[in-house]
Structure 1
Amino acid sequence: MKRLLRPVLVAGVALVAAACGDGAVQVPVPQPDTATQRLCEGLRLPEKVHGQQRRDTSPKSPLTAAWGSPAIALRCGVPRPAALQPASALVTINGIDWFGYPVDRPVTFTAVARQAYVEVTVPPKYNPAGDVLIELGPSIKATIPEKPEGQI
Structure 2
Amino acid sequence: MNSADHDNDHDNDSGDDAGTRSENAAAADEKRHPAVIATAIALPVALVVGVLVAAIAVNSSPAHDPVALGPVDAPDAASAQCSTLLDALPDELGDYSRADLADPAPVGVRAWVSAEENAEPVVLRCGLPRPVGFDVAAPLQVIDGVQWFEVSGENDGIDASTWFVVDRGTYIALTIPGDSGPTPLQDASSAVSAALPQQPLDPAPLQ
Q: Does 1:47 align with 2:98?
A: no
Q: CA deviation at 1:61?
A: 4.8
Q: CA deviation at 1:62?
A: 5.3
- Please tell me the residue identity of whatever aligns with 1:67: W
TM-score for both structures, normalised by structure 1: 0.74
- The size of the alignment, in residue pairs, is 129
Show CA shifts across 1:21-75 (max 9, x none). Answer: 61121234453248x7111011111111112211012333551111114200000
- Whether contact under 8 Å (2:167, 2:199) holds in the other structure is yes
- Please tell me the residue identity of whatever aligns with 2:173: E
Computing the radius of gyration from Cα coordinates, the structure with the larger value is 2
Give the strand-richer structure, 1 or 2. 1
Task: Describe the SS at the equivalent of 1:46.
Answer: coil
Show CA shifts across 1:90-114 (max 9, x none). Answer: 1111111111112512100001121
RMSD over equivalenced CA pairs, Å: 2.2
Gaps of 5+ in 2: 1-61, 114-118
Partner of 1:111: 165
Partner of 2:39: none
Q: Does 1:65 align with 2:110?
A: yes
The one of 50, 64, 75 aligned to 1:32? 75
**Superposed, which structure 2 residues align to 1:3-152 within 5 Å?**
22-29=64-71, 30-33=73-76, 37-43=79-85, 44-58=88-102, 59-61=104-106, 63-68=108-113, 69-102=119-152, 104=154, 105-127=159-181, 130-148=182-200, 150-152=201-203
Cα 1:103–1:62 change in 2 (3 A) is: closer
Higher relative contact order (CA 8 A, sep 6+): 1
Give the helix-richer structure, 1 or 2. 2
Gaps of 5+ in 1: 1-19
Identity fraction in percent: 27
